[in-house]
Structure 1
């Protein structure tokens, strides 16, 4: 299974749409691209393996493995990239501004149902992060 995250970059933050088989799963918010600097930048485009992760803070969420130059890049609830993310990805139900969204926990639950089901069937789940293609 490969999820596709199409990003649009802005100086204040990064907006995205997360799709599976061409169907929208949720929207995403991230920090702006600042050359992969730890804790202040979104991560580089590429393909990453997803795995389940549990922490007391976020409960069950997702972990992106082997991100170059970064550790513990997660997909976890966040409605404001600047105040709630340190390089991670926040799933949201809708965008409310650049780097901002709403109903993040609801969006994460929808994503987890899809991903955890595949992982429980021993499928490898990847996320492909890319720039949004603009139709001219």
Structure 2
């Protein structure tokens, strides 16, 4: 099971669209790309294994495994990347500005309703992060 996150980068933040089997799941927001610096940058593009995680703050959420040079990179609700994220990814229902969205909990619930049952069945779940430009270039050569 592989989810694909297509990103577009801006100096103020990173916008994304999350797909599963080519179907829209939700939008995403993240911090801007700042050379993978801890707590202030989005994570590098790549393929990551997802695991479920629980904390008092976020309850049940999703953890990206083996992010180079980083730890505790999560998928969790947030509507403003600069104010609420420290390198994590937030699902949102709509983009309302660069690095901003709305109805994050609703989008997060939609995502976890797909991911958490699969993980409970020991299905291997991954997230492939790519830029929109990389994705569209790859489509030209199919």
Q: Bin the TM-score by the shorter chain.
A: over 0.9
Q: Return 5+ residue gaps in structure 1 as ranges.
A: none
TM-score by length of 1: 0.97
Alignment of 1:32-111 (within 5 A): 32-111=32-111
Q: CA deviation at 1:38?
A: 0.5
Question: Structure 2: how far apart are the matches of 1:120 and 1:60?
Answer: 12
* CA deviation map 1:58-96 (0-9, x unaligned): 111100000000010000000000000000001000000
Q: Greater shift after overlay, 86-95 or 117-126?
A: 117-126
Q: Return 5+ residue gaps in structure 2 as ranges.
A: none
TM-score by length of 2: 0.93
Q: CA deviation at 1:33?
A: 0.2
CA RMSD in angstroms comes to: 1.2
Q: Which runs of 4+ in 1 moved over 4 A?
A: none
Match of 1:26 in 2: 26
Question: Structure 2: how far apart are the matches of 1:29 and 1:92?
Answer: 7
As a proportion of its length, which structure holds more helix? 2
Question: Structure 1: how far apart are the matches of 2:119 and 2:43?
Answer: 23
Three-state SS of the structure 2 residue aligned to 1:16 is strand
Match of 2:7 in 1: 7
Q: CA deviation at 1:20?
A: 0.1
